[in-house]
Amino acid sequence: MSDDAQRVGARLQTLLCEAGLDALAPERAERFGEFYLLLARWNARMNLTAVRDEEGILCRHFIESITCARRLPPQIRTLLDFGSGAGFPGIPIAICQPGIAVTLAESQGKKAAFLQEAVRVLELEAQVYAGRAEGLKEDFDCVTLRAVDRMERAVETAAQLVRPGGWLVLLTTSGNLPELKAIAGAAFSWAVAHAFAGHGNRVLTLAQRVVRSPV
């Protein structure tokens, strides 16, 4: 483990504490440090994320994703990160919840290549699906969406990939949430949204699929 990875991991622990959140196990914090360093190197060559400074990435991408990982119901065994992009929240979930089989779906080739490299370097038990999630032939205990292009259309597709009794997880804004709930349909029962402190109107919300949508 490099000194830089340890330093970034320690800074993440401090930010978690300042946000009133529990610290990570030391080895997981250092793995997040490795993830940040890999992301920063790739982000210098291609546009993985618009947030590029260390503090912004740790505060926005990492802490949001860690919060998501910690709020997942314990019965989840398979999870699809729909339109994973730079790996949020899917890679942090794979780090924090190694018992969950995570699939990172990303249709853009360069981003999918980054995800493959991240899975390899971080030694994660995760798979990368380098294609559009609509092409998947299976359903999942949980489907997550965060900062996905054409979010409305993505939610409509993602809802169909959640198995009965499974969960749809959205990281979005409070303003967009009512429309996204309506698009997901009456098959989902929604929990109260969790607001991210200091992140403006950013929210996390979970919904359980109670019945299959009509065919």
Question: What pLDDT sits at residue 215?
Answer: 52
Q: pLDDT for 65-81, tens place per residue?
A: 999 999 999 999 999 99
Q: pLDDT for 34-58, tens place per residue?
A: 999 999 999 988 888 878 789 989 9
- Placement of tokens 């699906």 in the chain: 129
Question: What pLDDT sits at residue 213?
Answer: 47
Q: Which residues of the chain have pLDDT under 70?
A: 1, 199, 211-215
Task: Please tell us whether the domain made up of 65-209 is placed in CATH 3.40.50.150.
Answer: yes
User: Does this model's pTM top 0.85?
Assistant: yes
Domain ranges of the chain: 65-209
